[in-house]
Structure 1
């Protein structure tokens, strides 16, 4: 790689940039008369930057494959043992008291709180963006419990791609020591649209450790250190590891262990340039005594609305005020959760969910050859891609990647807050569809994502499905659209695509454009409809069950999960829930129910697009699915819906395990409101010896032989996503005019108590532990398994918005 010294490179780039930026700027300045295109451009800009590296406590990047990524590392520098616990990647072993975005909107920014007990440190990070979305600022304030504690921060920034560059502008006293405490960078990114400035500075009240006679002046902890080096694009995410390699060089330079004991750690744990030339990764280290503050600003040079240290606070205050007002407007909580403490709780849960939205880019490992008809098949993946995905993550600590079956649940609260954002995420997911209609159930894109996943889960297979939860979003969206006042666009409609979170006078149009403008919604539906059709037919062809002379309304509408093993049915999402033997011709009632959800949504979208023949076909198939649920899966003996398998004579027999699987026809509202089966289902739900607890509905009946046996993942404990679906179904059946009086009475009783039980328990555990949890203990209500699991646990916010009772 050709090296050009600092200012020569800077001047050379200016000559290159002046032409490139003019072309880019003029192209962007052209007004496209098409409404959809104008909305798309404004939407992209408003979502361009964010903390889109959710696996990190603080990681900033754009929604572009090759641009700039940034992050923060911190550690106690007054103790050699603490440096091994340096913070960077969200890790449950860090034992944070709590962390997460307490206020956050992806279009505006927000505030993250981190209580780092081991480090004796409270961190507050504020992230803001300009109204146009091109510029951003990050402020990190640290409060040390010990006023003499010495904390070191390493901010890093790297550029990806051969058409991007980043060079330091600040003067340096030595190859590693910056003159003063402000570090300024000049950069250029073709994908971002031109030149930019990146500045790193510190608060006026920040203090640095004093020192005596230094062994090496290059290791002065009172100075700001900077080192740059050339790193392959796919290794930029290893910035923390690279920093430690450089620190190790300092340690190795001291051969006498006794001498090392006499040197304060902060005078060794500093960046030193071992003779490296400027490259695409820059590390900036600042070491503080007691409390501290740093501010990072990123500004495109050709923009007028720039973020500075001086205007940062006012922008942050304005953004927080506006997003809190928006939350209160969108989430008018119902009794008894319309009080201050619950409103704050709901806002924090939603903010943390959206603070887990990430942008991922890279290849994935896919096995397209292995036959899944054999139990315990080993997959051998080959790289495919690269692909990119904009997605929520279930947990920033344990599941920091996209999960197909989680995403539909995660998008439900977001749909209520910012429907345009929810649809943008869905569009990103369906951009991953392959020629057959398959979307991988786990999106493990690139080496950074693979580094945190056990080997047995990395490889994906195009015959393995997952519950199509995102199809539920379309039904909810159309319901919301039908109940919103339509917006009539004016000539200056494009100008209103601005949030002006920094205190301007613009309209908060972005976020509801699809709901308020039928043309934009229809255009979105028309664009995604062919992909949905392909995906739908992929489900029907790859997951179809064996007929074996079975009798039902339509033998084309019978299904089984492909790719399960003897102990787990990972494709179903309910991993260890009891099933029949894996090598039999089973039919799975939960998959048939999910196909009902999918078919119902396809019919609604076809109707929206005036695809009359398609709508009629999907409606017919939905009727067949409902009939097959009764013909094949209802067990009169057990009075519940069950999976079906075969005996030694190849005759159908029921495999019944009362719990979430058997409730699927109910939670997806595929049972007629006047069905006599409903009262049996309701009685099972309300029975404390079966499914009912004081904290929510059990995943498996207390009377089942597999209750709390084995791995005990989906074998008894409480999951919020299924409890939300149960509540939603109770609301539906309790409001139907043709439900019997007995059903209406019991649904109201269950609904009222269940809503209160689940919300109160999740709230109580959040206040007790500082976290939302993956699941909740059915005996004690305590959160367990993965903590900092916002994912579908965030559905508790929608429960709080539901009415207190059905009467």
Structure 2
């Protein structure tokens, strides 16, 4: 019993020990489990955090690269370079007075410089088109965009006529001849310096061994992988060649050729002229890493003088044009050009004088002759990039607004350019549009300003170089393509010659259209807002560069609540154009038609933009008219006083009715309004009031009654779209008036009368100013009709040719 009890006690003790051990083990296990759970949770949190950081970084990296990632689809430009031989060579350097290059990313370039021998002239060397050169006039008289052109430059007391004719054939682009004809007033015998040069574009990289330039037996010789061997010879046709000199040199870039030429000129004694600047060897070539990439030939001539510059390749047996044969072929081409111009525009048949027709021919020829071929990469940014990044390297074949001031591509300008170019050559216009659409990125965005290559970059202020992917530009390039297809449907039918290109364009047009719809939408349904407005406190009214109307008055204080009536109308026209192109290409137009019909709803439009008080359409935003520029005293010693904006009346959210002008007309300009609309009637009623927009020289951009009419935007920015007459918007007005005049409705007669009066005013003034000044201008004064802004502006001002032809 005792033993048993002991045993029992022992068992009990052991059991108690076991119980204690079990309890302790259970506690430890519980702690371990909790610890494990905490560690697991901590690891999960850390892992998830790391994963989210990785996702964020990856997403951010992805978003950073989208701005400069090309659209992932077939390129529109399927043939380029030597595969389009008829457009291979051309005057594709519109920023110089005379230059030739090929449509090749790595093309040799050729060009003209000149200067007067007289030291008293102080004019310097002419090379780039420059307003400060103050030439009395210059520009193309005829240019067909393919085979020839003729240009007159008046640099008193000299007239310099340059022309070129191409000889097609062979496998390397054919031959061409440039003729330079210099005369002095009264055919006086005057010494004059001509310089013709060849250069290798900086995109070629180190010249040798793949590309070379050199001089041999008085000619420029060269070799590139695309062209193989070529030769440029100088053939005097008339007059006396008094002296020649040349140099083989190294230039750091195309933008510094004139500066390099200056460095090569050395003064020597001359038996006739005493002291003469001649070209000398280039000391930089002593550097073994530098090769010849610039060969200038200087010729001292006695006017009158005619020189043929003849470019030839080895593979074309036909002799290049020169001398009498060149004269004969040039005259033949001029005659054919004039006949084709009349056939297409019918200006003689409409009763215009030969002098007026010659101006219209020059306007169109300058548009065509202003087509350039650029290659390079722009600089872009998005909200996800800390610093601007390079776009991809790409070519651009495009017309330029102004050879002197804007010798580069602008997206919304090109839409207007194509209206005229397409009337002359649908093939060239489609080729230009194709190059632009190949610049679209994966987001559907196209940079609005193209600055490609060192020569283009050298002429742009730094603040305009970087393009933001938030900024749009009016989609008139899209509208222009639809217009072209409507006017010439045979070219776009299933077996038409331009149908394949339009097919390739459509996915890009669709992406561009969708980018507008997603990136520019406003806070209210069916409202839209231009992005990129920034209030720096220095501007009387912050610019809206994206709209193309720059300093046109909008809401005084940019905000997300803004809605812009012109953008809404542009997107109506874009949706209508997309619907038409979709039907033409046998694709589903439904979603474009739905948007078009929604934006055509006048009740919705009026809810957002119609002011019952002023009976006008207007933008909406945070606005006050109580603004003025004031000079602010310096805050610190040594600082200059600044002119800043002072706000005297707090802004409120409202319609910006005080700014009556072009923006107020957009529902009419883009034909959003129905022909029977009473709002259309009110616009037409206001249109010819002289105290508003009507002037004897065209519609002014801003009403005289606006508080900002002809007001400076900053201390240094004169008014731009604040009262001047702009031809592109007047063209839209004429097109709309013709449309409403032809439509059955109560306003047809008034629209027809306004069309006739506006067209007469506009044409008369543009032609008159060209005769007076020798130029087409960027804009015209609504007070006296005088041209202002930059000159020559043979971008959309050249639409005067279509206006004269009544072709809208």
Report if aligned partners of 1:776, 1:783 keep a CA contact under 8 Å in 2: yes
CA apart distance, 1:583: 3.0
Q: Indicate how the Cα distance of structure 1 residues 169 and 698 shifts in structure 2: closer, same or farther if over 3 A, else same.
A: closer
Tell me which of 597, 619, 622 is aligned to 1:623: 597
Distance 1:38 1:206, change over 3 A: farther
Would you say the 8 A contact 2:235–2:309 is kept in 1? yes
**CA–CA separation in structure 2 for the residues paired with 1:40 and 1:242:** 32
SS of match in other structure, 1:697: coil
CA distance in structure 2 between the aligned counterparts of 1:334 and 1:697, rounded to whole angstroms: 27
Deviation at 1:71, TM superposition (A): 0.7
Residue 82 (structure 1) shift: 4.3
Q: Does 1:64 align with 2:104?
A: yes
Distance in 2 (alpha carbons) for counterparts of 1:449 and 1:41: 21
Q: Does 1:562 align with 2:599?
A: no
The answer to whether 1:239 aligns with 2:257 is: yes
Aligned twin of 2:382: 368
Q: Would you say the 8 A contact 1:102–1:348 is kept in 2?
A: yes
2:586 paired with 1:610: yes
CA contact (8 A) 2:167 2:321 kept: no
Partner residue in 1 for 2:64: none
RMSD after superposition: 2.6
Shift of 1:165: 3.1
Is contact 1:436-1:538 (8 Å) kept?
Answer: yes
Q: Does the 8 Å CA contact 1:695/1:758 hold for their aligned counterparts? A: yes
Q: State the alpha-carbon separation in 1 of the partners of residues 189 and 77 from structure 2.
A: 55
Shift of 1:39: 8.8
- Correspondence for 1:530: 507
| Contact preservation (8 Å) 2:557, 2:651 | no
Question: Are the aligned partners of 1:236 and 1:281 in contact in 2 as well (CA < 8 Å)?
Answer: no
- Residue number among 553, 556, 571 corresponding to 1:581 in the alignment: 556
Equivalence map 1:67-216=2 (5 Å): 67-79=107-119, 82=121, 85-117=124-156, 120-132=157-169, 134-145=174-185, 147-160=188-201, 161=204, 162=207, 164-168=210-214, 170-171=216-217, 183-192=218-227, 194-208=228-242
Q: CA deviation at 1:197?
A: 2.5
Question: Is the alpha carbon distance of 1:50 and 1:631 closer, same or farther for their aligned partners in structure 2, counting shifts above 3 Å?
Answer: same
Aligned-residue offset at 1:745: 1.5
Q: Does 1:732 align with 2:739?
A: yes
Q: How does 1:231-630 map to 2 (within 5 A)?
A: 231-232=251-252, 235-247=253-265, 250=266, 267-274=275-282, 276=285, 279-310=292-323, 311-333=325-347, 337-369=351-383, 381-482=388-489, 486=490, 514=491, 518-547=495-524, 555=525, 557-566=526-535, 567-584=542-559, 585-612=561-588, 615-627=589-601, 628-630=604-606
Deviations 1:561-596 (A, max 9, x none): 100134211111111111103332100001111111
Asked if 1:722 corresponds to 2:729, the answer is: yes
Distance 2:550 2:135 in 1: 29
TM-score, normalisation: structure 1: 0.80
Question: Once the 2 structures are TM-superposed, how far is the Cα of residue 58 of structure 1 from its aligned partner?
Answer: 0.7
How far the C-alpha of 1:167 sits from its partner, in A, is 4.3
Do the aligned partners of 1:471 and 1:597 also contact (CA within 8 Å) in 2?
no
Q: Distance in 1 between matches of 2:83 and 2:354?
A: 32
**Which is greater in Rg?**
2
Q: Is 1:797 the equivalent of 2:801?
A: yes
Gaps of 5+ in 1: 1-35, 172-182, 209-221, 255-259, 372-378, 487-513, 548-554
The aligned counterpart of 1:771 is: 775
Q: TM-score, length-normalised on structure 2? A: 0.80
* Cα deviation code 1:425-457 (max 9, x no counterpart): 000111111111111111111222121111211
CA distance, structure 2, for counterparts of residue 418 and residue 358 of structure 1 = 16
Shift of 1:651: 9.1
Unaligned runs of 5+ in 2: 1-75, 536-541, 625-649, 713-717
Q: Quote the Cα distance in structure 1 between the aligned partners of 2:376 and 2:80.
A: 24
- Cα contact 2:214–2:292 (8 A) shared by 1: no
CA contact (8 A) 1:164 1:190 kept: yes
Aligned-pair CA distance for 1:115: 0.3
Q: Is the 8 A contact 2:82 2:88 kept in 1?
A: no
Please give the per-residue CA displacement for 1:121-178, whole angstroms capped at 9, x wherever unaligned.
110001111245632110101002373432111111023425753444633xxxxxxx
Q: Partners of 2:274 and 2:756 in 1: how far apart?
A: 58
Q: Secondary structure of 1:57's match?
A: coil
Partner residue, 1:684: 686
Aligned to 2:674, which of 665, 672, 685?
672
The C-alpha deviation readout for 1:357-376, integer Å capped at 9, x for no partner, is: 111112212222479xxxxx
Give the number of equivalent residue pairs.
678
* Residue 88 (structure 2) pairs with residue 48 (structure 1): yes
Shift of 1:195: 2.7
SS of residue in 2 equivalent to 1:324: helix
